[in-house]
């Protein structure tokens, strides 16, 4: 699914989303509301991982159904509570326009509403590649904070898979063995992945490219 072009007001100024993506990967993630407990811990966790995202050429951008004034004040709390300095932009979507575009609104939890009874967003995550294609979507309930180490793991898998003809097994972590893509013949695999091992004709493991010892 390709990301639609749209504009957004953020804590770092207005953006055109395609221009914001540029040649980078992007993680767009929504949180239900400013000045709420789980969200405060989540944005602190993301700010703490900023260097990890930078290493992977990943831009992070948050979103909630609150205005810029609320965001700016809340960032002060996030920094204080988590001992971080939050530098990524947060979209102000008090109109729910972008939330509706990405189907982020919570229609199940009747407690996740604003004072007017309008749904806040769920905890959605979108991983977007430089071609502006959405490669992963996740939605968590408002009550459950996300594991952003898992988001990094997914980015690693996607980036390595895009560069090499591999997939990654269950519970894979960067540096673990990978799976040779089914489209790769055994003759090709012998050249691409010397020493690959066959468990079943459809299941072949190889050392992750770039991690071989000299």
Tens digits of per-residue pLDDT, 48-90?
A: 999 999 999 999 999 988 899 999 999 999 999 999 999 999 9
Tell whether 132 and 183 lie within a shared domain: no
Tell whether 183 and 137 lie within a shared domain: no
SS3 annotation, 88-116: CCEEECCCCHHHHHCCCECCCCCCCECCC
Q: Which of 9, 19, 46 is nearest to 145 (CA)?
A: 46
Q: Considering the domain boundaries, does residue 49 fall inside one?
A: yes
Tell whether 191 and 122 lie within a shared domain: no
Rounded CA separation 13/193 (Å): 46
Q: Considering the domain boundaries, does residue 96 fall inside one?
A: yes
Tell whether 186 and 134 lie within a shared domain: no
Tell whether 84 and 130 lie within a shared domain: yes
Q: Considering the domain boundaries, does residue 18 fall inside one?
A: yes
Structural domain range at position 108:
7-146
Tell whether 56 and 98 lie within a shared domain: yes
Q: Considering the domain boundaries, does residue 69 fall inside one?
A: yes
Number of domains forming the structure of the chain: 2
Torsion of CA 5, 6, 7, 12, to 10 degrees: -70
| List 28, 39, 61, 189, catalytic entry | 39
What pLDDT is recorded for position 151? Answer: 96
Tell whether 128 and 69 lie within a shared domain: yes
Q: Considering the domain boundaries, does residue 152 fall inside one?
A: no
Choice among 40-49, 90-99, 182-191 with the minimum mean pLDDT: 90-99
Q: Considering the domain boundaries, does residue 153 fall inside one?
A: no
Tell whether 102 and 187 lie within a shared domain: no
Q: Is the pLDDT of residue 204 over 80?
A: yes
What pLDDT is recorded for position 70? Answer: 96
Q: Look at residues 112, 146, 180 and tell me which one is the last residue of a structural domain.
A: 146
Q: 134 burial class (0-12, 13-18, 19+ CB within 10 angstroms)?
A: middle
Report the pLDDT averaged over residues 174-185: 97
Q: Is the pLDDT of residue 19 over 80?
A: yes
Catalytic-residue membership of 131: no
* pLDDT level of residue 141 (50, 70, 90 thresholds): confident
Tell whether 35 and 136 lie within a shared domain: yes
Tell whether 134 and 175 lie within a shared domain: no
Q: Considering the domain boundaries, does residue 132 fall inside one?
A: yes
What pLDDT is recorded for position 214? Answer: 44
Beta bridge partner(s), residue 178: 206
What pLDDT is recorded for position 98? Answer: 83
Query: What DSSP character marks residue 185?
Result: -
How many alpha carbons fall within 13 Å on the CB side of residue 79?
Answer: 10
Identify the helix (H) or strand (E) that includes residue 150.
Answer: helix 148-163
Tell whether 168 and 113 lie within a shared domain: no
Q: Is the pLDDT of residue 155 over 80?
A: yes
Tens digits of per-residue pLDDT, 103-133?
A: 776 555 545 555 555 555 668 899 999 999 9
For a pLDDT cut of 70, what percent of the chain falls above it? 90
Q: Considering the domain boundaries, does residue 1 fall inside one?
A: no
């Amino acid at each position: 699914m390709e990301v639609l072009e749209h504009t957004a007001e953020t804590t770092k100024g207005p953006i055109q989303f395609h221009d914001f993506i540029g040649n980078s990967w992007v993680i767009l993630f929504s949180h239900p509301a400013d000045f709420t407990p789980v969200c405060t811990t989540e944005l602190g966790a993301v700010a703490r991982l900023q260097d990890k995202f930078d290493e992977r050429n990943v831009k992070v951008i948050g979103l909630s159904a609150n205005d810029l004034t609320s965001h700016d004040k809340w960032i002060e709390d996030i920094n204080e509570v988590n001992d971080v300095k939050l530098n990524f932009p947060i979209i102000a979507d008090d109109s729910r326009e972008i939330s509706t575009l990405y189907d982020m609104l919570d229609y199940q939890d009747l407690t996740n509403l604003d004072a007017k009874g309008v749904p806040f967003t769920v905890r959605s995550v979108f991983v977007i590649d430089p071609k502006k294609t959405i490669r992963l979507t996740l939605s968590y309930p408002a009550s459950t904070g996300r594991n952003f180490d898992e988001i990094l793991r997914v980015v690693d898998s996607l980036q390595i898979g895009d560069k090499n003809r591999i997939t990654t097994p269950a519970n894979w972590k960067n540096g673990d063995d990978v799976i040779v893509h089914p489209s790769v013949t055994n003759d090709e695999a012998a050249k691409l992945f010397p020493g690959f091992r066959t468990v079943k004709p459809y299941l072949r493991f190889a050392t992750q490219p770039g991690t071989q010892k000299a």
